[in-house]
Amino acid sequence: MAVRLNHTIVAARDRDAAAIFLTEILGLPAPAILGPFAVVHVGSEISLDFVQSDGEIVPQHYAFLVSEMEFDEIFARIRERRLPYWADPRRRERDHMNAWDDGRGVYFDDPSGHLLEILTRPYGSGGTTASRPHPLIAATLHKQSPVRTDGPEKTGGGALAAEEATALERARDE
């Protein structure tokens, strides 16, 4: 049985503005109206169906895997619009992108406060051989690896612990 995610509903303060924002930023076809929804196709089968919400909107996180060329184009639009962007999901490293898994990634807000992300490599795809492993996979490996008695880690325990703590902090917020 092949189960495939087909759509999910995204609450928006302004349904049409939010849907148009996403299509313009990502370079996608214009939204289609389907009953109460403004439907944005983000893949060959998957759609984000925006719906108007007048109540409290609980921020969600949506991450889009893009090619290097698409990243360049989308990031250029983010900068053209002077949108705030961050390298991390906690919005601490403003005006920076990350290089996790030796790819590129950046976070930014949608008009309703949802946290959007574009990335060129899936989390963990660089494994441990990447020059910049994803912090989540790095944390797991640090916990499971035996303590080295030689090499640079011998005197770097404090730095490793701090790095792991940071990664786990981030993981809780992902």
Do 16 and 31 form a contact (C-beta atoms < 8 A)?
A: yes
Shortest Cβ distance from residue 3 to Fe ion (Å)?
A: 22
Q: Give long-range contacts, CB 8 A cutoff, 24+ apart: 101-104.
A: 101/125, 101/126, 101/130, 101/132, 101/133, 101/134, 102/126, 102/130, 102/131, 102/132, 103/68, 104/68, 104/71
Q: Which is nearer to Fe ion, 49 or 117 (CB)?
A: 117
Question: Is the Cβ of residue 57 or residue 63 nearer to Fe ion in the bound state?
Answer: 63
- How many residues touch Fe ion (CB under 5 A)? 2
Per CB under 5 A, 88 contacts Fe ion: no
Name the residue whose CB lies closest to Fe ion. Answer: 63
Kindly tell me which of 152 and 172 has the beta carbon lying closer to Fe ion: 172
- By CB under 5 A, the residues from 90 to 149 that bind Fe ion are 117
Which tokens sit at 103? Answer: 């790819």
Which residues inside 42-71 make contact with Fe ion, applying CB under 5 A?
A: 63
DSSP SS3 for 37: strand
At closest approach, how far in Å is the CB of 20 from Fe ion?
A: 23
Q: Residue 77 CB: number of other CB atoms within 10 A?
A: 13
**Interface with Fe ion (CB under 5 A):** 63, 117
